[in-house]
Structure 1
Amino acid sequence: MKKNNTIIIACIAFIIGYILRQQQEEKQHLKPEKVLKSVKERFQRKYEVSGSWIYMKPEPFEKNDLQYDVYHGGITKHTNGEYIPYEFYIDAHTGTLLEMFPQHK
């Protein structure tokens, strides 16, 4: 009987540990450098990129009544002899581009 209890307790501990690890992984943010690199690579498919930046700490952002932790950054494209700066907001958990717009001068 004691052997069965030990096996049951071990299984329960394993399941609890697995669930806690999954929850912890969901809370972690992507690295901002990786996010910026991804944006640059996507943008460079169509445009020449001449500069980029990103804030290293996520900030709260609301879109369509939903709350996100986002990285705020920018990228400058060079086209037709002009440098055009853009800003973007990317979900810090998933890397999804939430918004991108020309930077106001």
Structure 2
Amino acid sequence: MNWKSFLLGAGVGIAGGYLLKETLDTKTLHSPEKVLHAVKNSFKKEGPIDGSWIGMVPESYEVYPVKTKVYRGGISRRQDGELQQYEFVADSTNGTVLNIQKIS
């Protein structure tokens, strides 16, 4: 075996592994189910919920100058006999809830 070939192969392997790691770190998305579970648990602290939903495909979201991919979802619950519905926006890369808005 030639040392030059060995070192070239090792260098290519190390560079390829580093590039793959960087790509996976920036492209990794949280599972929408895990994001919904976390939001539901937060709402359950204030009382029972009737229903929930989340979009399974990340959408583009921009709040000047920040651009990211997000999941949109919703929670419904009854409080004092009245149906209340909330819509939320959560970052798909880290699961952080960016906005919650009461819609009814």
Q: What SS does the corresponding residue of 1:67 show, helix, strand or coil? A: strand
**In the alignment, what sits opposite 1:63?**
63
Residue type matched to 2:94 in 1?
T
Report if the CA contact (8 A) 1:48-1:79 is conserved: no
Tell me how large the CA RMSD over aligned residues is.
2.0
C-alpha distance in structure 1 between counterparts of 2:71 and 2:65, whole Å? 18
Which runs of no fewer than 5 residues in structure 1 stay unpaired?
A: none
**In the alignment, what sits opposite 1:85?**
85
**In the alignment, what sits opposite 1:51?**
51
Q: What SS does the corresponding residue of 1:21 show, helix, strand or coil? A: helix
Residue type matched to 2:80 in 1?
N
Paired residues for 1:1-80 under 5 Å? 2-3=2-3, 6-7=6-7, 9-11=9-11, 13-80=13-80
CA displacement, residues 50-88 of structure 1 (integer Å, 9 cap, x when unaligned): 110111111111124211100010001222222210000
TM-score by length of 1: 0.82
Of all paired residues, the percent bearing the same amino acid is 34
In the TM superposition, residue 20 of structure 1 has moved relative to its aligned partner by 1.6
Q: What SS does the corresponding residue of 2:49 show, helix, strand or coil? A: strand
Which runs of no fewer than 5 residues in structure 2 stay unpaired?
A: none
Q: What SS does the corresponding residue of 2:41 show, helix, strand or coil? A: helix
Residue type matched to 2:68 in 1?
Y
TM-score by length of 2: 0.82
Provide the aligned length of Structure 1 versus Structure 2.
Answer: 103
